[in-house]
Amino acid sequence: MRILTLSHEYPPIGGGGGKAAQDLCVGFAKMGHSVSMITAHYKDLAMKETLDGVKILRVRSLRSKPYKAGAITMAAFVLQGWIKARKEIKRQKPDLVHVHFAVPAGWIAYLLWREFKIPYIITTQLGDIPGGVPHKTDRWFRWVYPFTPAVWKSAVRVIAVSAFTRNLVLAKYPVDVQIIHNGVHLESINPNNLIVQNPPIVVFAGRFTQQKDPIQIIRTLSKLKDIPWRCTMVGNGPLRSEITQAINKAGINDRFLFTGWVSPSEVREIFLNSDILFMPSLSEGLPLVGVQALAAGLALLVSDIGGFIDLIEEGYNGYKLLPGNHDDWEKMLLRMLTNPELTKVFKKHSLKLAEKFDINRIVSQYMEIFIQVANQSD
């Protein structure tokens, strides 16, 4: 099968949604399918290369930061991506187009469908849905929303990564939506070999933005500075200076490690040597970082929102709390930091829960849909 994939984010740029797209593309290629990915160029990345069996075609989109894509950047990607996709279709007609993020890549797929009648499938994460990340996208959705219904309605299938994401789509668009979770490569970890570091290591991974609320981490840990712990912050973003100021003000800067943006393999190693994933996000679809944390055997302390609900069983592999409830965050993290046996039990249970997110299972679920769509279009 020939699969053309579109996404404005693909490693090393973007966040969890781009990594989820990569895992699927590599999975399809390993099954023997022809997979092409059209994505955004950034700095000195090759314009064209083949990695892990996936043909990657990058287009210039004025992107200046690896973790941020503004309105102008996405508009440029739509224009340049459409031009590149038309050439790729004429060169080797794909059986279908797979879109990651209905906005902006969905517009390219819609234009291609209008011209070439090639069916397309949307995988939606969160930020491409009105109301998904309100403080981040509500302003520009006021302008672009009228141009989105046709994109959703013309897709032959719409796939959401969580029940929360599915419900958001249904609230805005009259389309059928099915759920397929983001997947992860399961680690070969013996649960009996899991340990809790001394001192325990708390880890956060993601963009330093209002949506992820990393300031809550500093606020909570500053109240617990009299007990032993260390914290690793993976990622970067506009709140970096504010985070540093808060840490310095609390006098706990010697207990933090900032890695910046690192490769997926480096994230894996960091997780394997950590204990607690601390994610106080204000909104999430199905965060890939959470799925990766399960596979690495991390206890979870996360917000009781969105797709996190699919990753945690309360009191079994961690706790989920309402955003902004500062006392509860402090109370539960204190319990996990001072009770290593409890945290160790949580870590073992996370490994068990990770099994349903096995990337091989997820790839197979997508491929069943792809085969159905390809057969229907013949």
| Residue pLDDT, tens place only, 294-308 | 999 999 999 998 888
Q: In Å, how far are 6, 233, 286 from 271, measured between CA atoms?
A: 29, 11, 18
3-state secondary structure of 71: helix
What is the average pLDDT across 77-90?
Answer: 96
**Residue 110 confidence (pLDDT):** 98
State how far the Cα of 335 lies from the Cα of 312, in Å rounded to an integer.
Answer: 17
- Domain positions in the chain: 2-183+358-377, 191-357
Least trusted range by pLDDT, from 50-54, 83-87, 260-264, 313-317 = 260-264
pLDDT-based confidence at residue 9 (cuts at 50, 70, 90): very high
What is the average pLDDT across 321-332?
Answer: 92
Reported as type and span, the H/E element at residue 38 is strand 34-40
What is the average pLDDT across 191-208?
Answer: 92
220: its two tokens: 């909570």
3-state secondary structure of 277: strand
20: its two tokens: 């989820």
pLDDT-based confidence at residue 378 (cuts at 50, 70, 90): low
251: its two tokens: 């006098």
CATH architecture of 191-357: 3-Layer(aba) Sandwich (3.40)
State how far the Cα of 355 lies from the Cα of 335, in Å rounded to an integer.
Answer: 27
pLDDT-based confidence at residue 112 (cuts at 50, 70, 90): very high
Same fold, 2-183+358-377 and 191-357: yes
Q: Is the pLDDT assigned to residue 261 strictly greater than 70?
A: yes
Q: In Å, how far are 6, 8, 184, 352 from 299, measured between CA atoms?
A: 34, 32, 17, 12
What is the average pLDDT across 8-18?
Answer: 90
**Residue 322 confidence (pLDDT):** 92
pLDDT-based confidence at residue 161 (cuts at 50, 70, 90): very high
Q: Is the pLDDT assigned to residue 69 strictly greater than 90?
A: no
Q: Note the pTM of the prediction, 2 decimals.
A: 0.84
Amino acid residing at 337: L
Mean pLDDT of the chain: 93
Q: In Å, how far are 37, 45, 265 from 49, measured between CA atoms?
A: 10, 9, 20
**Beta strand pairing call for 120-124 and 96-100:** parallel
Task: List beta partners, residue 97.
Answer: 4, 120
Q: Is the pLDDT assigned to residue 48 strictly greater than 90?
A: yes
Best CATH choice for the domain 2-183+358-377 from the list 3.40.50.150, 3.50.50.60, 3.30.450.30, 3.40.50.2000: 3.40.50.2000
> Over the stretch 20-33, which tens digit does the pLDDT of each residue have?
999 999 999 999 99
**Residue 246 confidence (pLDDT):** 96
pLDDT-based confidence at residue 190 (cuts at 50, 70, 90): confident
Residues contacting 352, CB < 8 A, separation 6+: 191
Q: Are 277 and 299 in contact (CB under 8 A)?
A: yes
pLDDT-based confidence at residue 136 (cuts at 50, 70, 90): low
